[in-house]
Amino acid sequence: MPGTRPEKEHPPQRRRHTQRGRSPQRWRAAHRRFEESGPGRLWGRLSAVDLFAHSFQLAALALLCFFPFLIIITAAAGRDAAVVVTEWLGLNQQAARAVASLFKPATGSYALTATSALFLLLGALAVAGTLQTWYRMLFDVRGGGWRTNAAQLAWLAGLLGYAAVQSAFGRAFGGTPLPGLMGFLWSLVFWWASMYVLLVGAVPWRVLFPPALVTSLCWTGLGVFSAHWFSATIVANQQKYGPIGVVMVILSWLVAVGVVIHLGAVVGRMTSGTLTARKDGGGDGGQRVHGDGGHSGREAREDGE
């Protein structure tokens, strides 16, 4: 219209600056929505407890410290360590032969001095101590004293018993669905008792059940995955790299074991806190799992020590 000033258009450069300023805001909003979601809270918790660093640490200790102990113990019991490892990974016959080639002894005798036996035991206890320290951090439990070391010994004995019973299930019910079901139930009992023992009874059984259940589910899932993937990978790596290729796959499996243990405990811990919060009408159960006095009971026991 005459006498009307035309509307001033924003130059393209100003529009680009405006759009560029909105992009970080959209990213921050999306990041905030992710952090508030279930997967975001899980990832934040896993990052806070340093999932992968602890998993690699546990795998390295298991390979360097626990496997020598396992070889000596199984030999003393009249069994082959390669058979035990094969059963744990669920390998087929071809992959089992590749693993057995790593454990061929140069001699039939196993002469141990008191010093070497002590170092083997201390190495195995280092694995138990690492897992115990991580469970303490996750469940906010302080520790120390002779009960801590006794708990590590008890867990180590329980681990050997768990492996023996699991192997017996496979031999007794091979070719039927029972080994899988019995193995899951037995692993549930083992991980439930493991947490209670390593935490020296500081956390109630009912609080530990969700972490034990999720850990058992992850453990069973790893067994299924291992049976279908690790066998072919071990055979292929042996043909390509030789014995070191088999060791690489076993180390990968040990890392996966660490991830399973950590992931199961974290997810179960979050589930336990959510259920406690709902039961208490929306309290802070997600932050303090010992809402029934478990915390104060734990502190009283530690003060008593």
* pLDDT for the residue 224: 84
The predicted-structure confidence for 134-157, as pLDDT tens digits, reads as follows: 899 888 888 777 888 899 999 999
The helix/strand/coil state of 75 is helix
Contact 143, 305 (CB under 8 A): no
Whether residue 291 is contained in a domain is answered as: yes
In angstroms, the CA 241 to CA 234 distance is 10
In angstroms, the CA 131 to CA 125 distance is 10
In angstroms, the CA 44 to CA 39 distance is 9
Whether residue 217 is contained in a domain is answered as: yes
Which two tokens mark 137? 């951090």
Contact 188, 216 (CB under 8 A): yes
* pLDDT for the residue 284: 43
Closest CA to 62 of 248, 257, 264: 257
Whether residue 6 is contained in a domain is answered as: no
Contact 259, 194 (CB under 8 A): no
- N-terminal to C-terminal alpha carbon distance within the chain: 92
Structural domain tally of the chain? 1
* pLDDT for the residue 52: 80
Whether residue 89 is contained in a domain is answered as: yes
The predicted-structure confidence for 46-89, as pLDDT tens digits, reads as follows: 677 777 888 888 888 888 888 888 888 887 777 788 888 888 88
The burial of 165, by beta-carbon neighbours within 10 Å (0-12 exposed, 13-18 middle, 19 or more buried), is given as: middle
In angstroms, the CA 54 to CA 172 distance is 36
* pLDDT for the residue 296: 37
Domain extent at residue 286: 49-104+112-300
* pLDDT for the residue 215: 93
Contact 219, 260 (CB under 8 A): yes
In angstroms, the CA 13 to CA 114 distance is 79
In angstroms, the CA 96 to CA 67 distance is 17
Whether residue 17 is contained in a domain is answered as: no
Whether residue 13 is contained in a domain is answered as: no
In angstroms, the CA 88 to CA 82 distance is 10
Q: Angle at Cα 230 formed by Cα 228 and Cα 233, nearest 5°?
A: 115
* pLDDT for the residue 35: 62
In angstroms, the CA 53 to CA 182 distance is 32
Residue with tokens 């300023």: 21
* pLDDT for the residue 151: 93
Residues in the chain predicted with pLDDT less than 70, given as ranges, are: 1-23, 27-40, 42-44, 46, 104-112, 170, 172-180, 272-305
Residue with tokens 């546990």: 58
Residue 52 makes CB contacts below 8 A (sequence gap 6+) with 259
No. of H helices and E strands in the chain?
12, 0
Closest CA to 217 of 207, 225, 229, 206: 225
Closest CA to 199 of 147, 269, 272, 146: 147
Determine the length of the chain.
305
- 4-10 — which CB contacts under 8 Å span 24+ positions? none
Whether residue 99 is contained in a domain is answered as: yes
Whether residue 162 is contained in a domain is answered as: yes
